[in-house]
Amino acid sequence: MSEIEEAKIQSVREDFPILSRKIYGKPLVYFDNAATTQKPLAVINAISNYYLNDNANVHRGVHYLSQQATGAFEDVRKKVATFINAGSPSEIVFTRGATEAINLVAWSYCESFLSAGDEIIVSVLEHHSNIVPWQVACERKGAFLKVIPATSDGELDMPVFEQLLNEHTKMVAVSHISNTLGTINPIGEIVNLAHSKNVPVFVDGAQGLSHGPVDVQKLGCDFYAFSAHKMYGPMGIGGLYGKTAWLEKMQPYQMGGEMIEKVTFEKTTYNEIPYKFEAGTPNVADVMGLNAAIDYLIGLGWDFITTQENDLLNYATSQLLEVEGIRIIGTAANKAAIISFLIDGIHFFDAGTILDHLGIAVRTGSHCTQPLMDSLGINGTLRASLAFYNTRQEVDKLIEAIQKVKNLFA
Ligand SMILES: Cc1ncc(COP(=O)(O)O)c(C=O)c1O
């Protein structure tokens, strides 16, 4: 890393006030970015500015503030559409996050298009949020859940996927990036195979949008879900991209508020997309935070983000592998900066607790991927998930701290 890049990372870190916190008197090393990323001041200010100066309900008022809020809210929809290259802003539905976006499609799509005997394909790498909604839809409709297994490196077993696809398949739902192993899945290839059998593809992009640019039209997927809090934005807001042709045909998911066109006691007709899927008062303030997060990422640039994260991934991987007794779980060729690992003879929970007392925040456990853990024959891992604001020096601190953990258990 050149001095200029080092200086840039230091200045980027200053955008995130929490990174200068101390934990148990030690400088915080925040390696839990897959759970949630930290927020730059620009995001925090955008939210407080909304409540300080601009607060009004959207879509309902003739008064100035309401119209201003509505305009700003709809501008963010346009910005999200451009950010992920959706065909139109009306293909962006605001949700509480990725989980709600998955539930929306699992309910609305399956209500119309899933019947007894049909099949939905997920993968063994999925977060519970991209398993359970499909599983429940299958139970409701008498359909079957099929699972793409992974290779020993943590890559999807594509030949098995091809065999699973058949005339009963009604949806393929896979993650863009595995939150546990860091595997970047070959979405383009999955889409080509599925579409050759006229099967739509749902992508859980909860980990996708923070690590690199996403172009939903290039990926070719039918749906893409994301959470703002995993891309440096606020919690409680996220979205769903859905192709117009699907969104038009799907049932509304929740009822009331802006999703109606005309209500009588006899019958209700529904609003056009995307409003048909946005019942109730939306989370406008956090949409403003999402707006600031997107601006922040655009300002940094994907080149900087991907270069820095790849450097950290390679450095952390090589340093971890130098430590005797460390096993990295998930060694896919195409990986994001998420590293699951185990320390020989030391329970991940004990190790994580000691690391915490040394100021290092890593995640321990199953990472909401219990079926993946079962398939690997383990109960959990330690997970260091890195972001562009992390540094090689922080990786060195992790390695030193792991040595301390090992010494305590020696
Ligand atoms: C791959 C993946 N999918 C879905 C989710 C759920 O995201 P949220 O809790 O923001 O809805 C997560 C969160 O960790 C995730 O990593």
Average confidence (pLDDT) over 317-344: 98
Is the pLDDT reported for residue 258 higher than 90? no
316's enclosing H/E stretch is helix 302-322
Average confidence (pLDDT) over 123-139: 98
Measured on CA atoms in the order 270, 271, 272, 278, is the torsion positive or negative? negative
Determine whether the shortest distance from the Cβ of 129 to ligand 1 is under 6 A.
yes
Is the pLDDT reported for residue 122 higher than 70? yes
Average confidence (pLDDT) over 348-356: 98
Determine whether the shortest distance from the Cβ of 204 to ligand 1 is under 6 A.
yes
How far apart, in whole angstroms, are the C-alpha atoms of residue 128 and residue 373?
A: 12
Determine whether the shortest distance from the Cβ of 207 to ligand 1 is under 6 A.
yes
Q: What is the tens place of the pLDDT at every residue in 170-224?
A: 999 999 999 999 999 999 999 999 999 999 999 999 999 999 999 999 999 999 9
Determine whether the shortest distance from the Cβ of 227 to ligand 1 is under 6 A.
yes
Q: How confident is the model at residue 60 (pLDDT cuts 50, 70, 90)?
A: confident
Determine whether the shortest distance from the Cβ of 97 to ligand 1 is under 6 A.
yes
- Per cent of the chain over pLDDT 90 is 97
Is the pLDDT reported for residue 410 higher than 90? no
Is the pLDDT reported for residue 3 higher than 60? no
Q: How confident is the model at residue 368 (pLDDT cuts 50, 70, 90)?
A: very high
Ligand 1 atom at minimal distance to the Cα of residue 179: 16
Check residue 1 and give its pLDDT: 54
Q: How confident is the model at residue 162 (pLDDT cuts 50, 70, 90)?
A: very high
Query: Cα 146–150–156 angle (5° rounding)?
Result: 85
Check residue 295 and give its pLDDT: 98
Average confidence (pLDDT) over 309-323: 98
Check residue 135 and give its pLDDT: 98
Q: How confident is the model at residue 2 (pLDDT cuts 50, 70, 90)?
A: low
Q: How confident is the model at residue 88 (pLDDT cuts 50, 70, 90)?
A: very high
Average pLDDT, the chain: 97
Mutate to test the pocket of ligand 1, among 230, 237, 286 (most ligand atoms within 8 A of CB): 230
- Catalytic positions are 368
Distance (Å) from CA 366 to ligand 1 centroid: 13
Ligand 1 atom at minimal distance to the Cα of residue 36: 14
Are the beta carbons of 225 and 173 closer than 8 angstroms?
Answer: no
Determine whether the shortest distance from the Cβ of 175 to ligand 1 is under 6 A.
yes
Q: How confident is the model at residue 113 (pLDDT cuts 50, 70, 90)?
A: very high
How far apart, in whole angstroms, are the C-alpha atoms of residue 335 and residue 183?
A: 5
Distance (Å) from CA 45 to ligand 1 centroid: 25
Q: How confident is the model at residue 61 (pLDDT cuts 50, 70, 90)?
A: confident
DSSP class per residue in 54-115? I---SSS-SSHHHHHHHHHHHHHHHHHHHHTT-S-GGGEEEESSHHHHHHHHHHHHHHHH--
Q: What is the tens place of the pLDDT at every residue in 380-393?
A: 999 999 999 999 99
How far apart, in whole angstroms, are the C-alpha atoms of residue 62 and residue 53?
A: 18
Average confidence (pLDDT) over 91-120: 98
Determine whether the shortest distance from the Cβ of 179 to ligand 1 is under 6 A.
yes
Distance (Å) from CA 34 to ligand 1 centroid: 8
Determine whether the shortest distance from the Cβ of 130 to ligand 1 is under 6 A.
yes
Check residue 5 and give its pLDDT: 78
Check residue 6 and give its pLDDT: 84
Ligand 1 atom at minimal distance to the Cα of residue 177: 1
Ligand 1 atom at minimal distance to the Cα of residue 35: 14
Distance (Å) from CA 356 to ligand 1 centroid: 23
Distance (Å) from CA 127 to ligand 1 centroid: 7
Q: What is the tens place of the pLDDT at every residue in 23-36?
A: 999 999 999 999 99
Distance (Å) from CA 181 to ligand 1 centroid: 14
Q: How confident is the model at residue 4 (pLDDT cuts 50, 70, 90)?
A: low
Are the beta carbons of 338 and 175 closer than 8 angstroms?
Answer: no
